[in-house]
Amino acid sequence: MVLVASSVIEGIVRDGLGQQISVGKVSTVQRLWQGYGEIMRVSLKNSPLPPEDDKHANKAASSSVIIKYVAPPRGVGHAGVGDIGHQRKVRSYEVESAFYQHFAKQLGSAVRVPRCLFVTNQDQKTGKNEPSSEGQICFVLEDLDAAGFAGREHYLTADTVRPMISWLARFHRSFLFDSTTQEGADGGDPVTAKMSKKNKKMRSLLWSCGCYWHLDMRPDELAQLRRDDPLRMNAATWDAQLKGARWQTLVHGDAKVENFCFSSLKTRKGKHDKNTRSTTSNDGHGGGEQQLASDVAAVDFQYVGFGVGVRDLAYCLSSCLSEREMMKYADELLDFYFGEFFNFDAGVGEGVLQFGEKGTEGDRSDVEREWRQLWPVCFADFERFLAGWCPGGGWARNGYTLQMTQKAIQLASENYSLIYVSQGERSRFHA
């Protein structure tokens, strides 16, 4: 059952896409987390444009669109409540709005995301396009199913996960910058000063630290850990290491397999089309036959922010690979990621935001060295969140995760050791 009134849906569509459009069937795709709204597929009549592959289009381009309607539950987050979870959710949808409107248009077809056709603050009661003090916001997006990305997955293999890795590598390469130059002096140059001011404003639209589990965003989960738990004792150190990295980019922030849409059964079954080759081989460095990043599209950009690219990758692999696959192939897939990353030419087109110097070919080894050193820290940092959020166990925990967490603990302090408790119990870290 669709929760939003049909008159409101029709008003949204007509305001954003044209008064000549009428709404047909409306179906619920899914409810948003904790009752904050829903995602709907809306069929259109009298759509003005045929399907096209124009990432700058701002009109409906197919017979259906996706509407993501955000409306926090009544009574939540009003003045005086001060609920950190509510504030985080409302902010996340504001970030997603900023991403679609200002950042997604910089990505080409090799880094596929749904085209944003319209974003509005929509009053659920009146249907008027006016700012809402209750966190209401509405996205009208391209229907990726209609665009050929109808496949969904929950579990993948080391082979079939590669299109997702390619997508992440290209996304990260598109926004790579040297963080030590982001606040550089403008030297009195008015053009540089104007650009610096613009970049600071654009930075403020996203999370200063991407990923929904980062330490500043999760004080309640940290408080659940014992004071002598190495995950808690080292949390600030790991957080500082991740934030202090020289080479930063935009991270997706919730790059689990459920947030990717697949283009065909070939991708999902791991069968390779001879006409779809990646830029890298199985060892990550040239010539292999794999599906392209354009075979997948990503959605759900609520936690986009700044960080190191391998943070997304660690979370991605943990979300969809078995323990056996992780133990056997994680290091190989990390190699594959860097191969895709450096072989992708992101370019610097008109209007592309630069948060710092993008680096040169000579910086390649520095980027890879720094991010590889942070690879174990990425797993340990997520384990810190997971241990506080779900003390009884979690989907991302496996032998490789624990191995990396142990390594991060040992790097932080040689005085800790990892003790793995029996299967089904939480893995405990003791001094």
Does residue 241 carry a pLDDT above 90? yes
Contact 253, 263 (CB under 8 A): no
The SS3 of residue 195 is helix
Task: Say what angle helices 235-243 and 399-412 make with each other, to 10 degrees.
Answer: 90
Does residue 152 sit within a domain?
no
Query: What local confidence, expressed as pLDDT, does residue 29 receive?
Result: 92
Q: Whole-prediction pTM value? A: 0.83
Domain shared by 122 and 191, yes or no: no
> Domain boundary residue among 110, 142, 174?
142
Q: Is the same domain home to 131 and 175?
A: no
126 & 166 share domain: no
- How many domains does the chain fold into? 2
**Rg of the chain in Å (alpha carbons):** 22
Between 124 and 203, name the one with better pLDDT.
203
- pLDDT tens digit string along 288-302? 334 455 799 999 999
> By the 8 A CB rule, do 332 and 282 touch?
yes
| Structural contact between residues 335 and 166, judged by C-beta atoms closer than 8 angstroms | no
Is 157 domain-assigned? no
The per-type count for the chain, helices as H runs and strands as E runs, is 12, 12
Indicate whether 227 pLDDT > 50.
Answer: yes
Give the position of tokens 């032998």: 399
Amino acid at 205: L
The tens digit of pLDDT for each residue in 309-338 reads 999 999 999 999 999 999 999 999 999 999
| 48 and 137 both lie in a single domain | yes
**Residue 299 lies in domain:** 162-430
Residues 6+ apart with CB under 8 A from 345: none
Q: Which is more confidently placed, 221 or 198?
A: 221
Verify that 248 and 363 share a domain, yes or no: yes
Residue 301 and residue 373 in one domain: yes
